[in-house]
Amino acid sequence: MQYSGRPSSYRRSNEQHRHQSPVRHMQPDSRSDSPEDSGSQYEEDAPRAQNGYGGGQGEMQHHYHHASHDEDEDDDDGFYGGTAGGGAAQSPQVDSPGPPQPPQSHYQMQHQQQLQYRRKAEQQHQQDMSSRRHSQVAPQAPSLPPPIFDHSHLKPGNSASLLSAEKTLEMYRLNAKKTNDPEIQFQFAILMLEAIRGPAPPPDPNSTQYDQEKANEQKERSTQDATRMLQKLADRGHHEAQYFLADCYANGIGTPRGRQDFDKAYPLFVQAAKHRHADAAYRAGICCENGWGCRRDSAKAIQFYKTAGSLQHPGAMYRLGLAELNGELGTSKKPKEGVKWLKRSAEHATAEFPHALHELALLHERGIDNVLFVDMDYSAELLAQAAELGYAPSAHRLGECYEYGKMGCPMDPALSIHYYNIAAQQDHRDACFALTAWYLVGSPGVLPQSDTEAYLWAKKAAEGGLAKAMYAVGYFTEVGIGTAQSTQDAVIWYKRASEAGDKRASQRLRSNQNAGPLPGAPLGERTEVGSAGQGGGNHGMTGAKSKDKDCIIM
């Protein structure tokens, strides 16, 4: 018998531990006389035991029949060994001359546990292999991050609705009162004023007089709250609040009966201008020039305009340019300086201040000696820039250029109608009346002929105060072009045109002929009506037919 190097007490405690521990120690397939070899064999077989592979019942019986050649050797192997694959461990052996015989019931229990462990290991292995195959066939894309705002709880229906304007303003009001941040308070004041100045909602047929009065009171209360908040911010030196509050007073917002109050607006414009607020300096200059809220002071107006001009304000630079060109605001005529200011303003032109582009175009059309040369192409380019910014006079001028082929522009009915339409959409009365002529004759492939549209555009121009448009509406009504014939209504329009200075209307009223064509071209010659020319596109006419005096209404 070999000595294993371990006391019997250690062996007994280890044997008890093996009986009590749920982990069963299995013997290795190959035996070794040294503990080190046995331990290394166990370490090599450990992964196999963990993965659930190894010997079965026959292997266990083989280990059992060759178990105890030596008592100490068996104890060492029982401590270090174990079957690879989770086979059941042998029962603890005692010191006896013969080989130990474990009870049959205990071995059967171990064998059942072995089979259970093996089944679980095989199931786990199959699941792992199945998941690997699925991952190789159809790799899953990385999941998207959750939405920042989850609106899944919102459902359509009668109960789903946004907050009303009143509740939204009330929520902002509470937040603004809780904070001392001037920017938040300023934004809230602007929000309230924009809600007040915005388009009014459609009237509710079910609303009563009391509801309307209540709405007006709420509107007035919100206006007072906003102006009061702006006033507090202005007193603290907030230059944006100073300018915005001044603009409100200048437009009659937050004032008694909605009247303009420049006495309050001008000092606020000045305060904001001291903080180098460009718009405030420009508005302060306008007040000084016109005596709004202060006495007229051209020198002070020039000073404010120059302050705003140094801040690249296009309106201020345009006003300085006109003053230098025409000798206004107490300055002498300096065309060269005026052109410089206009060029600077044109470089910074906006939709609100496109005037310098138009003025420079007119100057290049006629030129200034030793200052500005004549350049028709550049003039048309400047007009196009201003028209694209929505400036109606420039668009109307370009419409004339493309209608008659002026300033180097080709005669193009499509472009002429396009620019006329830009100006007419802004109620430019001459452009509206020009569209009347185009609709009377039409343009093949560009504009269909329409008497109704011609009458409507003429009426719009007449309502804008254009005398010849009033006369045209009277004639359309008298003859029945685009509208129902009515001599009585025609007389009314003739009177309005005569009062506006149209001589043909006066002549028509004095005439005894209340019907029939007017002096000039016969009624049948519809191609001569208007300024568009014959056919709407034949602008090459020469002679009397191409002149306005030979047309029926132009």
Task: Using a pLDDT cut of 70, give the percent of the chain over it.
Answer: 59
Reading phi first (left if > 0) and then psi (alpha if -120 to 50, else beta), residue 157 is in left
Return the pLDDT at 164: 61
Quick check: 531 and 457 in contact, CB under 8 A? no
- For the four alpha carbons of 348, 351, 352 and 354, in that order, the dihedral sign comes to positive
Reading phi first (left if > 0) and then psi (alpha if -120 to 50, else beta), residue 155 is in beta
Amino acid at 551: C
Average pLDDT over the chain, rounded to an integer = 74
pLDDT tens-digit series, residues 421-462 = 999 999 999 999 999 999 999 999 999 999 999 999 999 999
pTM over cut 0.95: no
Q: What is the largest CA-CA distance in the chain?
A: 156
Fold for the domain defined by 437-554: 1.25.40
Residue range 207-219: average pLDDT?
A: 72
CATH number of 170-198+215-436: 1.25.40.10
* pLDDT at residue 27 is higher than 60: no
First to last CA, the chain: 138
Residues 6+ apart with CB under 8 A from 65: none
Q: What is d(CA 317, CA 305) in angstroms, rounded to the nearest whole number? A: 7
Q: What is d(CA 376, CA 358) in angstroms, rounded to the nearest whole number? A: 13
* 366 three-state secondary structure: helix
Return the pLDDT at 189: 87
Amino acid at 57: Q
Cα dist from 501 to 357, 467, 469, 471, whole Å: 32, 7, 12, 10
Q: Which residue has the higher pLDDT, 193 or 28?
A: 193
* 443 three-state secondary structure: strand
Residue range 362-388: average pLDDT?
A: 94
Amino acid at 448: P
Amino acid at 175: N
For the chain, residues classed under CATH 1.25.40.10 are 170-198+215-436
Return the pLDDT at 306: 97
Residue range 403-410: average pLDDT?
A: 94
Return the pLDDT at 72: 45
Residue range 9-32: average pLDDT?
A: 44
Q: Which residue has the higher pLDDT, 169 or 107?
A: 169
* pLDDT at residue 2 is higher than 80: no
Return the pLDDT at 480: 95
Q: Which of 36-50, 341-355, 384-398 has the lowest average pLDDT?
A: 36-50
Q: b/e string for 79-91 if b means 16 or more Cβ within 10 A? A: bbbbbbbbbbbbb
